[in-house]
Structure 1
Amino acid sequence: MIPQDTIVALATPSGAGAIAVIRLSGKEAISIAAEVFQSVSGKDISKQRTHTIHLGHIVSEGKIYDQVLLSIFKGPNSYTGEHVVEISCHGSTFIQQQIIQLLLRKGAKMAQAGEFTLRAFLNGKLDLSQAEAVADLIASDNEASHQIAMQQMRGGFSNEIAKLREELLNFASLIELELDFAEEDVEFADRSAFHELLNRIEFVLKRLIDSFAVGNVIKNGIPVAIVGEPNVGKSTLLNALLNEERAIVSDIAGTTRDTIEDELVINGIGFRFIDTAGIRETKDVVESIGIQKTFEKMEQAQVVLFLVDSSQFTADSIENLKIEIEKVKNKYPTKAIVAIINKVDLLSEEDVKSIQEQLSTFDVQLSTIFISAKQKIGIDELKNTLLSFVNTGALRNNETIVTNTRHYDSLLKALEEIQKVKWGLESHLSSDLIAIDIRSALHFFGEITGEVTNDELLGNIFANFCIGK
């Protein structure tokens, strides 16, 4: 049921600023605003056209609160589909609260988290996946995540799902019709065309499901663990990547006792770099805890940078590096591993060739980069290598990428049901059994776009929004 209350909230971030925007939405939004707004031209704003802006003052009982700009958006041609008024006032927190409290006294109610977007969904202005993309757009902090959120908010993902659902629904109707004429043994649905549709749906679902691996890391940032023995330059490398003194650097082994994390955007892709404690045998209790965390971060990372000090490149260090890399690769075959040889500025060409030959004897495939973290040599090559691990081809081709865990789960379930339908069709099962699996597939498609929903689901989704949206 669509709420009838008129709601109000601050639409801009809380705190002082140059301006603040207070948003009203609901049947009484314009009439409530008219009670407290006096136009400098003497206009009655309740009689003004939609999508107009008016200069005036917020006034109550002879008291002037502020000079403001008031914008009018009449439903259904507004964000929420209801009457919407936005008051742009000066950004003093005192002024903001005074105006909001005044509007509450006039009959408005305080908006809940995400309630404006919830009303947009309930009024058919957005489907559920588009509404969720609004939150992703607000949270986007790099070009790639922004591009994905914009694509989904425009309906790229939901349009693709809706089209497949509509085609499946048409066949479902014919299958259901067959059930009404079961005694006459007739087929209204062309089985070969239906099988072709199921193959196409299966292909699209698998592509969308596979895209989640890329979409999830783009949305949340790609975790990169910097590991190695103590005092090989891990913290120096982190500082060089971030171009600031983020981590403490010293000649004392074991300086880094805990993990240090920071983010860097490279060509629009977010990376979360994790500087870890040096891996070695130690009796220091605190350092041991840090080393344990190093292994935990290696497990969580998508890319592992094994850093080696070339000046300490001995037979033992090569063997240790080989053992650690093989451990990680055997346990996590899909994890990207890069061997970083530090202090290349101290090496001759012969030294570089010798190290490359020794690394080529490793049983696992890995990239090798020679750098000088202190002199910032090879840092750009490292960044390019990191970018190569991200499949951004889909972004360049404007393909749909799934970033939402809820969508991913529904896609998996829909695929499972489609494969059941396909198997039933190939096994010549009766129409009533095939119809059951089709209904289940349609249900999971509908969950994505919001055609199938419930109050609990909506509550969970919109509770994560900021209040003014």
Structure 2
Amino acid sequence: MDTIFALASAPGKAGVAVVRLSGSEARAAAGRLAGCTLPAAGRTLRVLRDGDGHRIDQALVLTFTGPASFTGEDVAELHVHGSSAVIAALLRTLSGIDGLRQAEPGEFTRRALENGRMDLAQVEGLADLIEAETEAQRRQAVKVLSGDLGRKAEGWRSDLIRAAALIEAVIDFADEDVPVDVTPEVTELLNRVQLDLNRLIAGVGMSERIRSGFEVAIVGAPNVGKSTLLNALAGRKAAITSEIAGTTRDVIEVRMDLGGLAVTLLDTAGLRETSDHVERLGVELARDRAEQADIRVFLTEDGAQPDVTVRPGDITLRPKADLLANPKGAISGVTGQGVDDLVRRLTDELRQRSASAGLATRERHRNAMLRAGESIATARALLSQGTENYDIAADDLRHAILALESLVGRIDVENLLDEIFASFCIGK
């Protein structure tokens, strides 16, 4: 396999830049630049030179011996000054060494997967950690990256293998000294796995929301202060405000952090009947986005009713508190009155919802667990019908085990790998 190299730190000027090499020639190539034989594992401060002997930079050189490295292969890291010229000279020199080539996006991590240093769920957790913008996203990604989901899947798999082995023993050795009725133990094992699977399946939707972000739509009639409120929440002028009704025709989106959770605020077009074709399209879009949003903040004037059905967790407020004689239950984007309280209520509601999130964070995880659960349910039903159905039940348990193996990338995921690793940067 080729030895690969790439800039592993962010491009651009920095105090330090890291160039990583991985493969059988990694240590030798780094040693060639350093002008010495490097230790199998360790660190040293060396001057790096190009093929003509010209000095590139002084570098801290780290070496790791496989399989005790990120990729599971021999790895070298060159920590140089973060100058664009230094990085370019170093990468150019590495490109001229036989047996070395530039890494593809995510190739270091892909090698870690292929060499058993990570499972596929951990790879996805690493991708999520790189993309994390909020504290909740970071915490969730770290849990998956640490291997918690993989360990869960391995525990389920062990229980199912034990259950299948008991059933097979009855089938294959019915005339020998093997307990005939293994149904109670098998049922207990299957019930335990099914209960755990159901719990994690139920939390996938909320885990996905934490990963991708919640949506909060500000909904109301034209000219009630929706855009002004959005600007107040965003702390900047993100939407155009005007006294002319119908100014907002499209959905304006603002990304922000609420209590460690990623939230996209949506300023929607004012809901009303209109003969203006463009405004009517905006109103239809506003209704659609409001229906899909996790929480809706309704701005309704006294006596008015929301044009969209209010769901549990939605917030209804009176607009333009600065113009009201009795501002109780009202909010003003102009003066900021009630804005802090709205932020608190949104944060509390989203935190309460996110508490149901589990280890599984993607639709792929949910589908694999659903397949496993369906096979387990079929096996349980067959067990209750007697030993004559044990062979079919055992086959269903094998399907459940295969589904769990696909969860962590042991089988049946080749078609996903290119898509997953394409989201990584070159040096990861």
Partner in structure 2 of residue 386 of structure 1: 346
Aligned to 2:128, which of 127, 131, 136?
Answer: 136
158-167 or 296-305, which moves further after superposition?
Answer: 296-305
Q: Displacement of 1:81 after TM fit?
A: 1.2
Alpha-carbon deviations, 1:207-238, whole Å to 9, x = none? 10111121111111101111111110001111
Where do 1:245-394 residues align within 5 Å?
A: 245-308=237-300, 310=301, 313=302, 315=303, 318=304, 321-322=305-306, 324-326=307-309, 336-349=313-326, 352=328, 369-392=329-352
Q: Contact between 1:238 and 1:273, CA under 8 Å: does it hold in 2? A: yes
SS of 1:376's equivalent? coil
383-392 or 16-25, which moves further after superposition?
Answer: 383-392
Partner in structure 1 of residue 25 of structure 2: 28
| Separation (CA, whole Å) in 2 of partners of 1:16 and 1:99 | 15
Partner in structure 2 of residue 437 of structure 1: 396
| Separation (CA, whole Å) in 2 of partners of 1:394 and 1:251 | 38
Aligned to 1:114, which of 106, 113, 118?
Answer: 106
Partner in structure 2 of residue 202 of structure 1: 194
Q: Displacement of 1:252 after TM fit?
A: 1.4
Amino acid at match of 2:347: L
SS of 1:219's equivalent? helix
| Separation (CA, whole Å) in 2 of partners of 1:189 and 1:447 | 31
Q: Contact between 1:66 and 1:89, CA under 8 Å: does it hold in 2? A: yes
Alpha-carbon deviations, 1:223-260, whole Å to 9, x = none? 11111111100011111111122111121111212111
SS of 2:314's equivalent? strand
Structure 1 unaligned segments of length 5 or more: list them: 39-43, 353-368
Q: Displacement of 1:182 after TM fit?
A: 5.3
Partner in structure 1 of residue 47 of structure 2: 56
141-150 or 380-389, which moves further after superposition?
Answer: 380-389
Alpha-carbon deviations, 1:67-91, whole Å to 9, x = none? 3222212222211111111112233
Gap change, CA 1:65 and 1:392, over 3 Å in 2: farther
Q: Contact between 1:214 and 1:391, CA under 8 Å: does it hold in 2? A: no
Question: Could you tell me the TM-score, scaled by structure 2's length?
Answer: 0.92
SS of 2:47's equivalent? strand
Question: Could you tell me the TM-score, scaled by structure 1's length?
Answer: 0.85
| Separation (CA, whole Å) in 2 of partners of 1:61 and 1:188 | 78
Aligned to 2:95, which of 99, 104, 113?
Answer: 104
Alpha-carbon deviations, 1:21-71, whole Å to 9, x = none? 111001110001111224xxxxx342x251324232233212222232222
Alpha-carbon deviations, 1:275-300, whole Å to 9, x = none? 11111222333322222221221132
Q: Contact between 1:306 and 1:340, CA under 8 Å: does it hold in 2? A: yes
Q: Displacement of 1:188 after TM fit?
A: 6.0
Aligned to 2:157, which of 147, 162, 165?
Answer: 165
SS of 1:430's equivalent? helix
SS of 1:287's equivalent? helix
Aligned to 2:422, which of 458, 463, 466?
Answer: 463
Structure 2 unaligned segments of length 5 or more: list them: none
Partner in structure 1 of residue 72 of structure 2: 81
Amino acid at match of 1:381: D
Amino acid at match of 2:399: S
Q: Contact between 2:45 and 2:58, CA under 8 Å: does it hold in 1? A: no
Q: Displacement of 1:392 after TM fit?
A: 4.9
| Separation (CA, whole Å) in 1 of partners of 2:297 and 2:369 | 33
Amino acid at match of 1:7: I
Gap change, CA 1:437 and 1:110, over 3 Å in 2: same
Amino acid at match of 2:31: A
Where do 1:375-454 residues align within 5 Å?
A: 375-392=335-352, 400-428=358-386, 430-454=389-413
Structure 1 ranges of 4+ moved more than 4 A: 182-189, 391-395
Alpha-carbon deviations, 1:296-333, whole Å to 9, x = none? 2113211112212x4xx3x4xx2xx24x233xx5xxx6
Gap change, CA 1:95 and 1:23, over 3 Å in 2: same
| Separation (CA, whole Å) in 1 of partners of 2:180 and 2:334 | 73
Alpha-carbon deviations, 1:339-397, whole Å to 9, x = none? 12112343344x85xxxxxxxxxxxxxxxx531221112122212222233355876x9
**Aligned-residue CA RMSD in angstroms?**
2.3
Q: Contact between 2:170 and 2:179, CA under 8 Å: does it hold in 1? A: yes
SS of 1:389's equivalent? helix
Where do 1:182-193 residues align within 5 Å?
A: 187=179, 190-193=182-185
Identity rate of aligned residues, in percent?
A: 37
Q: Displacement of 1:338 after TM fit?
A: 1.9
